[in-house]
Amino acid sequence: MKPTHIEHIGIAVASLEEAIPFYEKVLGLECYSIEEVADQKVKTAFFKIGQTKIELLEPTSPESTIAKFIEKNGGGMHHIAFAVEDVATALNEAAEAGCQLIDKAPRNGAEGLKIGFLHPKSTNRVLTEICGEK
For Zn ion, the binding residues (CB under 5 A) are 10, 55, 81, 129
CB of 21 to Zn ion, least distance (A): 21
Q: Which residue's beta carbon is nearest to the bound Zn ion? A: 10
H/E segment holding residue 21:
helix 16-21
**Between 88 and 129, CB nearer to Zn ion:** 129
CB of 9 to Zn ion, least distance (A): 8
Let me know the angle formed at the C-alpha of 81 by 105 and 90, rounded to the nearest 5 degrees: 40
**Between 58 and 129, CB nearer to Zn ion:** 129
**Between 98 and 112, CB nearer to Zn ion:** 112
DSSP state of 99: -
CB of 34 to Zn ion, least distance (A): 15
Q: With contact defined as beta carbons under 8 Å apart, do 102 and 91 qualify?
A: no
Let me know the angle formed at the C-alpha of 106 by 47 and 63, rounded to the nearest 5 degrees: 70
Q: How far is CA 32 from CA 61, 83, 84, 108, 111, in A?
A: 24, 19, 22, 20, 11
**Between 55 and 58, CB nearer to Zn ion:** 55
CB of 130 to Zn ion, least distance (A): 10
